A and B are shown apart, each in its own frame.
Chain A
Amino acid sequence: MSTTNNRRKIHPKLRMIAREPSPEIAVRAHRSASLCMKAGTEFAQPPTVDDVLVNVFVHTTNGQDIRAEGAQIRNKVMRGQIQAMTLPLSQVALLAEAGNVTHLEVGEPLSPPAPTVDPSKVGPPDRARTDFGSATRHRFGEDVLIGIIDVQGFDFAHPDFLTRDGSTRWVAIWDQGAASGKPPEKTRDFDVDYGRELTAKDINNALAASKQLRVPATALEPQSQMVPGSHGTHVASIAAGNSGVCRRARIAGVLISLPEEDVDRRKSFYDSTRIAHAVDYLVELSKRLGAEEGRKIPLSINISLGTNGHAHDASAAISRWLDNAMNTPGRAISVAAGNAGQEKAAFEGDLGYVMGRIHTSGRISSRGLGTDIEWMVIGDGRSDVSENELEIWYSAQDRFKVQLRPPGGQWTEEVKPGEFILKRGLGDGTSISIYNEVYHPSNGANYISIYLTPSPDELRGVAAGQWTVRLSAEEVRDGRYHGWIERDDPRPVGRVGTRETWRFPSFFSERSNVDESSVSSLACGMRVLSVANLDFSRERINVTSSQGPTRDGRFKPDVAAPGTDIVAAKGFAGPKDLWVSMSGTSMASPYVCGVAGLMMAIEKGLTAAQIEGIIQATARPLPGASYSWLNDAGFGRIDPEKCLLEAATVNQRKGL
């Protein structure tokens, strides 16, 4: 194969990044989740592509090692035909030359969870809310491993995670952001050299020493993030705390290194390859525990993080990864649907709706016709320093041309299928890139990606106002398209000179926004349990809960679980401030994770698909609804009692 053809193996976004000169690349490492400066690279000296590391998913023909002479591959984890790894940005092309590589994708950025936190002081949760089924049968998930992939640290010393004798219920925590310490054990398929693994022994020793030294155990064995009121602690408490669902399960945590401070961004990764690594770590851990104890340890994983990118049809590398991991019986995975359900401001100044306007869709009915998509970028009065990214997916049968018009500017030329514009400067500091690609290697669909990149001078944001994307059809058989914005959540980045700088999301105008299919792409996987936020006391879906279906029309979210005003452990806030109430799909998902854990405690051989089937079949419609799937509630509210009954009888057959 020629080199040009091999370059086609590289996802356009990765092609764009890899061709970036210094100092743009440093700025991009600062902004991008999947890029990171090599350790020791100083701010002062202009870095080059050689100084930048990138996290990629590499798809192979055979799942074998990649033969690329001289490639500095690190952190390689292999699952099926996909491998998630880190390599220097300059070696992406080298990897594409390897015979068994079919294509490379850069990791998708993860969005930090944004639950609503109630600042009032609250008492401990009511254990009755998670008390169901027969305790003699499920034994509160004694033999089950609950794996929590989350952020902000796990307060393992919280009383919600201690046994009666004061020892820990955590079997391990992999802190991916730890700067020093021992990384998890390597195996043939799992070979990472970053982060630190905290073992149960470390934790128990720290708990004992804590009493002598009068220092919290979490200070003695610190994690890279220990945020008071930590998200990860709250989530773990719901799924498996002493007051949660799986009260006797072993708990393992993976702390994703999601940077709090902007200055740390260029030093860390927070992309979907890290989720892939986390899942495989938990899988290896459950196998290891099982081998030690000579019995099978089922694994129920929770991920209350999201990503908006890719096709929302389970074809993203991370979705395929999760689905592959769930092929083995005795495993389940719950994912928060996302909090992008709100599409209008509830009141002036309400930012919630911006989070909601991330999806557009429509249908071009015949050749020669077109449509305009209005894409709002914020900036006036503030500097918006985020890069804005829009992906439009459409049927392989169709051919669309695309044009872009900046606010108050001129249309670009038409970009036809197979054509691209790479980093064209607009004179005001913004540069645009447009790719119109056909037959995506993962799902065969066509897709258009558009990037608005701010000037590397951080003070100048992307030109603000309405950007218009015009699609016009050269060929139509199906005509449907879907677009999603990939973006950060809005937040102030700080004051620079006299200006407040913000990292603002872009969003669709109300006219272009289509209020469905906003479920996080991570929650669109085939075998993941995708969970909506049920406001239990009002018996309705919380307005912020993201909606389905997936782009390929599948029913996600699956189910709704209590996620509004949920009291659970408050981490790292001292012994006198133990509980906190939060709302979001982040709180709903671990409830389902816990229920799946109990189901597997009763029947160890359940597959993720069976668990999904049982949860769907037993779900109860909300008031006024039928048994039909709804785009916000899924199949209705989860019925844990019935789930457990079904789990017990799933393999019973009666010969007639």
Chain B
Amino acid sequence: MQLTVLPSAHGDCLLLESGKKRMLIDGGPDHSFRKLVLPELAKSNDRPIDCVYLSHIDFDHIGGLLVLVDALYAWRVYGYRKEKGDDVGEPAMPRPPEVLKVWHNAFTAQLGDNAALVASALANTAETLSALTATDASTMAIRAYHQDLATHTGHALQLTNRIGAGQLGIKVNPEYKAGLMAFDDEVQQPALKLGKAKFTLLGPTAEDLKNLRREWDDWLRDNKAAVRKIQKASRIDADALTSSADAFVVPLEMEARMLAEELSTPGLDASVEDSLGSSAKELGLRKKVTPPNLASLMFLVEEGKQKLLLTGDGHADDILAGLEKRQKLDGDGKLHVNILKVQHHGAEYNMTPDFARRITADHYVFCGNGYATNPELIVLDTIVEARTAGKFKFWFNSTPEKAAYSEQMTKVQARVEELAAATGGRLKFEFRDDPFRVP
């Protein structure tokens, strides 16, 4: 099998080929997909993408896939209307390859009938919170967190809407009978394949998804109660409202403030702590990983002696637990792979020294361009520290985007140079901003 890394700003986007079959792994954010990935894929639009694997619904993974689906629609509509004789111009986007199948856990499948309610409650919450005027960092973080979540869930629903029910002829999780892809000890796992490559699902577990669902159900209930409480607590004298225009806006802001205090959205505390930003980076704090990230689809891919570990934005402990359950670790609880797609763009919360020691690779692929200071220097240090012997290589997929991010990448480059020197040349590295194949 052959892994090609596609330039994708701060997101993940990879192409895996085995024999004549190929798989697109995530899409990165929309802009890099449109500009860099789609033209690349269009070069081979005469043969399909057999499977698109979307690890989870964050924009730096799903954004590009929404563009891909848009392009597929645009070209079918164009073909239809042109044949019909309508005066239509060719779509602005190059023609992508057809897509036969998608692996992903749709937000609607994860949350059932509550998905739309959660999405709508998130949108309302985000809108209410938008009345908050800039004050302290933590309030602003609450606002930003909800705005992001609302955006992500909105995108997830949009994707479901466009590829659900066999539209575009795309099958969703056919091996799981269109249901959720999750690992369950008690159930025989279906065979997952791409050409000769065999896929072992490491996560999420059925338990993880149940917890996730419960967490959102609870949130929905609490959120409703909070909104009701605020409405009830603050009945006001309508006369007072009209005494000045100021009085009109103040209640909006007060409502936002009260709601901000009441909210206990999954992943919120961590996000707020994070934004308050102690400069010391801590490794492996699982509670700081957002719910969508924790629900990432993760795979070990094997073909002959080749091994590839695909981790999405998952957490070290969950990857290890998955490998253990699927009996992929050796007697010492270790695994060596040819390629590790380092989880979550090299963020510190998703990495542990234990993981770095037990899971080793010839090639470590980091997808991140400095956005949110990923990849983190401490993650590089941790891996290098764990590698007391053997040669290995770091690959950085770092499409330059904004000067603000390049500051982090300059630091990364300096640190990697130091580390390479310290290992006496065992560590090699490459920074790339074009499509490249990992040997």
Contact = CB atoms under 8 A, between A and B. Distances in A.
A524 B76 CA distance: 47
Interface of B: 73, 76-77, 79-81, 84, 86-88, 108, 113, 116-117, 119-121, 127-128, 130-131, 133-134, 160-162, 164-170, 230-232, 234-236, 238-239, 241-242, 244-246, 248-255
Interface string A219-236: 110100000100000000
A464 interface: yes
B116 A214 contact: no
A378 B249 contact: yes
Contacts of B250: 381
A220 B121 CA distance: 32
B40 to A, nearest CB: 24
A282 to B, nearest CB: 25
Given A121-B113, A466-B245, 14 more contacts: A214-B170, A215-B73, A215-B77, A219-B73, A220-B80, A347-B230, A348-B230, A376-B242, A376-B245, A381-B250, A466-B244, A510-B238, A573-B161, A575-B164
B366 to A, nearest CB: 33
A166 interface: no
Given A381-B249, A464-B245, A574-B161, A349 B167 contact: no
18 contacts: A119-B117, A120-B116, A121-B117, A181-B86, A215-B73, A216-B167, A219-B77, A346-B231, A348-B231, A350-B231, A380-B246, A381-B246, A381-B253, A465-B245, A492-B130, A500-B131, A574-B164, A576-B164
A205 B166 CA distance: 20
Contacts of A378: 245, 248-249
A573 to B, nearest CB: 6
Contacts of A129: none
Contacts of A345: 236, 238, 241, 251
Nearest to B250: A381
Contacts of A216: 167
Nearest to A465: B245
Contacts, number: 126
B253 A214 contact: no
Size class of the A contact interface (CB-based, 8 Å): 35 or more
Nearest to B124: A119
A641 B360 CA distance: 77
Contacts of B253: 381
Contacts of A205: 84
A132 interface: no
Contact of B80 (A209, A350, A574): A209
Contacts of B252: 349, 351
Contact of B245 (A344, A380, A577): A380
Interface of A: 119-121, 180-181, 205-206, 209, 213-216, 219-220, 222, 228, 344-351, 353-354, 374, 376-382, 407, 464-466, 492, 498, 500, 509-511, 573-577
B159 to A, nearest CB: 11
Given A216-B167, A345-B238, A345-B241, A574 B160 contact: yes
Contact of A215 (B116, B167, B236, B238): B167
Contacts of A374: 242
Contacts of A492: 127, 130
Given A119-B116, A120-B117, A215-B168, A379 B87 contact: no
Contacts of B160: 574
Contacts of B166: 214
Given A219-B73, A577-B161, A382 B238 contact: no
Contacts of A377: 245
